[in-house]
Amino acid sequence: MEFTEAQLERYSRHIILSDVGGKGQKKLSQAKVLVIGAGGLGSPAALYLAAAGIGTLGLADGDVVDLSNLQRQILHTTDRIGVPKVESGRQTLAALNPDITIKTYQYHVSADNIMGLIADYDMVLDGSDNFSTRFMINDACFFARKTLISGSIFRFEGQLTTIKPHEGFPCYRCLYPEPPPAGLVPNCQEAGVLGVLAGTIGVLQAAEAIKEILKIGDTVADKLLIYDALEMKFRKVSRPKDPNCRLCGPHPTIKNLSGDYAVSCAI
Amino acid sequence: MIKVRIPTPLRPLTKNQGEVEATAGSIAEMIENLNAAHPGLKDRLCDDKGELRRFVNIYVNEEDIRFLKGKDTSLKDGDEVSIVPAIAGGN
A114-130 residue pLDDT tens: 999 999 999 999 999 99
* Amino acid in the structure at residue A116: G
Clarify whether A188 is annotated catalytic.
yes
- Find, among A52, A58, A65, the residue nearest to A25 by Cα: A52
Our count of domains for chain A comes to: 1
Cβ A220 vs Cβ B67: under 8 Å: no
- What pLDDT is attached to residue A267? 33
Which candidate, A109, A174, A177, places its Cα nearest to that of A137? Answer: A109
Q: Establish if A75 touches chain B: CB-CB under 8 angstroms.
A: no
Of B88, B83, B86, B87, give the one whose Cα is nearest residue B13.
B83
Residue A194 is assigned to a structural domain of this protein = yes
Closest by Cβ to A129, choosing from B54, B86, B90: B90
- Nearest by CB: A188 against B44, B57, B89: B89
Note whether residue A135 is domain-resident.
Answer: yes
User: Can you name the residues that pair with A102 across neighbouring β-strands?
Assistant: A57
Give me the residues of A, 4-23, that contact B with CB < 8 A.
none
Quick check: is A244 in a domain? no
Q: Are A16 and A40 in contact (CB under 8 A)?
A: no
Residue A34: left if φ>0, alpha if ψ -120 to 50, beta else—which one? beta
Residue A190 lies in a domain: yes
C-alpha pair distances (Å), B61 with each of A33, A230, B78, B83: 35, 21, 10, 11
Residue A77 counted as domain residue: yes
- CB of A255 less than 8 A from some CB of B: no
- ipTM summary value: 0.91
pLDDT tier at B9, thresholds 50, 70, 90: confident
- A61-78: pLDDT as tens digits: 999 999 999 999 999 999
Asked if A38 and A129 touch (Cβ cutoff 8 Å), the reply is no
List residues in chain B touching A: CB distance below 8 A.
7-9, 18, 44, 53-55, 57, 59, 62-64, 66-67, 82, 84-91
A264 belongs to a structural domain: no
**Is residue A58 in a domain?**
yes
Please report whether residue A19 resides in a domain: no
Residue of A141, A188, A248, A265 with catalytic role: A188
Kindly report the CATH number assigned to the domain that includes residue A94: 3.40.50.720
Domains (ranges, CATH) in chain B? Answer: 2-85 (3.10.20.30)
CB A91 within 8 A of CB B53: no
Q: Which domain holds residue A112?
A: 31-238
A228 vs B contacts (CB less than 8 Å): 8, 18
A196: Cβ contacts below 8 Å, ≥ 6 apart: A72, A229
